[in-house]
Amino acid sequence: MSPPTPEDPICPLCDRPIPPDVDQSLHHLIPKLKGGKGRPTVLLHHICHKEIHATLTEAELARSFNTVTALREHPRLAKFLAWVKKRPPAFRSKVPGGRRKR
């Protein structure tokens, strides 16, 4: 893994750099299936993206959690972000806490 550089994009969720060789994902702020196709996306660490989808349904994302600010304020995501911010940018792990209940 290469060390982070000042040119690396910053994950808007956890505020850590995203080096080019680190798993990353584009997150649709409004899910594609809920009308978000062609709408704004944000580049996130893959682990941050997985935690969003392990926590919230597509309907919840479309209705109430369609901004980075709203995502950061969700209690489970806030707890995750406090935890992951202490990890290096290349940190990989299974999503803690299991999947959301449907």
Tell me which of 30 and 98 has the higher pLDDT. Answer: 30
d(CA 43, CA 41): 7
Confidence category of residue 90, pLDDT binned at 50, 70, 90: confident
Checking if the pLDDT of 95 tops 70, the result is no
d(CA 22, CA 60): 28
DSSP characters over 31-55: -GGGTTTTS-EEEEEHHHHHHHHHH
Report DSSP state, residue 5. Answer: -
* Domain spans of the chain, in order of start: 1-92
Which of 44, 43, 25, 23 lies closest to 92, judged by CA?
23
